[in-house]
Amino acid sequence: MPPVEEILEAAKVVALPMRTRFRSITRREALIFRGPAGWGEFAPFVEYDDEESAPWLAAGIEAAYLGPPVAQRDAVPLNATVPAVAADQVAEILARYPGATTAKVKVAEPGQSLSDDVDRVAAARAVIPRVRIDANGKWTVPQAISSISAIGEVEYAEQPCATVDELAQVRRAVDVPIAADESIRKAADPMRVVAADAADVAILKVAPLGGMRSVLALSDRIGLPVVVSSALDTAVGMAAGVAAAAALPRLDLACGLGTGSLFTVDVAEPFLPEHGVVTPRWFGPDVDLAPATLADPATTAWWHDRLRRCHDVLRRRGHGAEFGKS
């Protein structure tokens, strides 16, 4: 594994302003760094502890030191992403995703009502007929069952409740397919979802799962249809997400890799869909990223310290043998 000082020597901390509040934030902070294979990203959300954040560093190191896996396709279909905005703002947001045939709509936002969710989904459905919803585990089982019924037919309901057991209960009670996100990426054993027969679709995210190759391996083990999704990544992190999706042996569903449109400015040219798809591309070591949104010194110091702690976590876990072999 590369020494922490080597990573930090090529690191830049950025703070990207967002067009719309998403996951309760209006500014996305991230640390990007250059290695021999290109640029990597370390951007766990600020509330995550070091143990949960360490795989995000592993993913960034993989990108910077190993590069992308071999692609199986030259285009990746994307879903449009609709934050928990008012219904009359939905069409404007969807216009940022030309050619998209699927929309993912955030629901169960704290402080909003089921009526808000129903109206937002209906507004999305008026523009793009295929809609999926994402509750981020915010509903109880009874709330999930009644809310899914009120919203109506969707491609799937993503993480309607927090736990695997709750997902299994909802799945048995509704006709809508259930997708698991947090119950995979935050789980000590991501295979519990399969053992409990709790999901129809697996949402896999590169950074929280430790890298592109980890996503490919888990996809093979889990045996469910896969949607590769972003973790509100910068263009550098998005390159890894698109690379993972492009490397999957099979990809039948649109991926959640279009959140670059949520930023007013990115660290590089963002991955924006054309005709509903994006093309894989890589920010190699010869690319000089000079973001205009560098973070202030205090924020930079906070991220450097966080990276050091997560590097220690990876060392204790014995991470890094694969880099010695590369």
Beta strands in 173-320 (DSSP E): 178-180, 201-205, 226-229, 277-278
C-alpha distance across the termini of the chain, in Å: 11
- Residue 104: active-site member: no
Q: What are phi and psi of 263, to 5 degrees?
A: -95, 145
Tokens of 63: 């990108």
Ligand-binding site membership of 220 (annotated): no
Label residue 205 exposed, middle or buried (CB < 10 Å: 0-12, 13-18, 19+). Answer: buried
Question: Helix, strand or coil for residue 301?
Answer: helix
Ligand-binding site membership of 181 (annotated): yes
Q: What CA–CA distance (Å, rounded) separates 63 from 86?
A: 37
Could you tell me how far CA 282 lies from the centroid of its own chain? 18
Q: What CA–CA distance (Å, rounded) separates 160 from 197?
A: 15
Number of neighbouring beta carbons within 10 Å of residue 111:
6
- Residue 106: active-site member: yes
Q: What are phi and psi of 204, to 5 degrees?
A: -115, 130
Ligand-binding site membership of 134 (annotated): yes
Residue of 12, 104, 138, 205 marked active site: 205
∠ Cα 83 85 89 (to 5°): 110
Residue of 106, 138, 186, 325 marked active site: 106
Task: Cite the annotated binding site for Mg(2+) by residue number.
Answer: 134, 158, 181
Which residues are catalytic, by number?
Answer: 106, 205
